[in-house]
Amino acid sequence: MAIARPRTHDRIHDVYLGRIMMMRAGIVPPTQRHPHAVGAREHGRGISWHTPVTSTRVADQTSGKYAGEWPAPSATRSDDDAWVKPWFQACRILLPHAQRDRFMNDEDIKGIWSGVPMPWTDTEQLDRDALARTIRKCVDTGCHGVYVAGTTGEFHAMSEAQFADVIETFVGEMCSHPTIGAQAGCGGFSQRQVCERIRLATGAGCNDIQLPLPGWMPLQDDEILTFFDVVTGRFPGVHLYLYDNAQCGRLIGEPLWMRLLERFPCIAGAKLTDPTPELVRSIIQMRPTFNILGGEPSIVALWPHGVRSIAAWISYAFPRLIGDLWRALEANDVAGIAAGSDKLDIVHTQIKDPMRALGYREGIMDRLMGLASGFLEPTFCRVLPPWRSVDPEHVAMARQEIQIHLGLDHLFE
């Protein structure tokens, strides 16, 4: 299914951006400079926009096969499929190359990661445009990476058709942000479901996979090792980022972490919900380049132990708050760290706690905060059943508390 691009200018821009990305990956050789390529050196990082007169055949250098024809941009082209389908075909080749090169560099995966929620229509279809706009907004407000289909992203509630829509929209939008990290959550309740979701994600061009343990019945250590044997055997090119969450029935624990890191080099990082400093030190001692994503309540305490990434719902609710705190941590600004920590405490005790009394839990609470600040659009109120959706009256209540305790600077129109 194609992503609609209503304006011809947007379609032409995306085609050019895709060519820039492919030239950077060494897939498409530069040919003829196009007359519309104004400002290309700014947007293309010093690479001029080029285009052949009619079309470009996109070659897969690893197999020698062609991914398809890429039509030359036309101001009169009206059929979006004519350019969107080749766009996705090209991305399936390009993105694994680009991401692999980028994610091998540990410095590039540090920072603030937005695990965005999903916007659903009245008929429980993905609102693709709203998701794409929200990803762009996260990028514009300073996040370093975006991932989808985590807990707030409802991986546990989505059908496979809904998951496929999410991945296609996500990859399509992230192709416009080649310097921003991208991970696809591929959690499921069985090995079969997990592998099918990884197949969909890698087929769309995303090789960086965030993966919790299959849930419901807690796995034993030997079952976890067998599970990763199967996953890494079927998908040898992926980078795995483990989501270690007690909601899966257990935490991995330090002894098993050591076995996993020794056995599976493709495990490149982890999202740890509440890690101890001892666990962090043990992991980093064994794998110095290992990337740990902490939560915003623990980032200040774990910073001295080497944690340099944060998986933050707060980035799509209060991006200024987490951005200021992040910069203070990087600069070792003691006063700035203290001020940011105080604001985080206010968010959790003065704003979120009253909402918990109304029945909001983590995940849905994240959505409520983003709606209350005005960062998220109203379509994000809806949650897939049987989990409760966000009540617009509660959005207004939370917004009032934000204004009282944080001030207008943290509200969006």
pLDDT value of position 216: 87
Q: Please give the helix or strand (H or E) that residue 356 lies within, else none.
A: helix 353-356
> Could you give phi then psi for residue 64, rounded to 5 degrees?
80, 0
Would the pLDDT of 234 be above 90?
yes
- pLDDT(76) > 90: no
Residue 58 has pLDDT above 70, yes or no: no
What domains lie within the chain, and their CATH numbers? 8-95 (no CATH), 104-332 (3.20.20.70)
How do residues 313-337 score in pLDDT, each as one tens digit?
A: 999 999 999 999 999 999 999 999 9
Cα–Cα–Cα angle for 208, 210, 212, rounded to 5 degrees: 155
- Amino acid letter for position 197: R
For tokens 């609609």, what's the residue?
A: 4
Cβ atoms of 346 and 356 within 8 Å: the answer is no
Phi-psi region of 114 (alpha: psi -120 to 50; beta: other; left: phi over 0): beta
Q: Predicted confidence band at 373 (pLDDT cuts at 50, 70, 90)? A: very high
- Distance between CA atoms of residues 114 and 116, nearest Å: 6
Question: Greater confidence, 99 or 252?
Answer: 252
Q: Which residues contact 188 (CB under 8 A, 6 or more apart)?
A: 155, 194, 196, 197, 214
- C-beta of residue 363 within 8 angstroms of C-beta of residue 373: no
Mean pLDDT of the chain: 80
CA–CA separation, 234 and 219 (whole Å): 20
DSSP 111-174: EEEEE----B-TTS-B-HHHHHHHHHHHHHTT-SEEEESSTTTTTTT--HHHHHHHHHHHHHHH
Confidence of residue 408 (pLDDT cuts 50, 70, 90): very high
Q: Is the pLDDT of residue 95 over 70?
A: no
For residue 264, what pLDDT is reported? 98
Contact 183, 209 (CB under 8 A): yes
In terms of pTM, does the model score above 0.85? no
Residue 285 is predicted with a pLDDT of 95
pLDDT computed for residue 89 by the predictor: 44
Cα separation, 320 vs 150, in Å, equals 23
Q: Given this model, what pLDDT does residue 312 score?
A: 83
Contacting residues for 223 by C-beta, under 8 A, at least 6 apart: none
Are residues 384 and 120 in contact, defined by beta-carbon separation less than 8 angstroms? yes
What confidence tens digit (pLDDT) does each residue in 141-195 have? 999 999 999 999 999 999 999 999 999 999 999 999 999 999 999 999 999 999 9
Find out whether 244 and 273 touch, Cβ atoms under 8 Å: yes
- pLDDT band with cut points at 50, 70 and 90 for residue 108: low
Residue, of 158 and 74, whose pLDDT is higher: 158
- Average pLDDT over every residue of 272-289: 92
Pairwise CA distance, residues 316 & 8, whole Å: 29
Q: Does the structure show a pLDDT above 60 at 45?
A: no
pLDDT above 90 covers a percentage of the chain that reads: 69
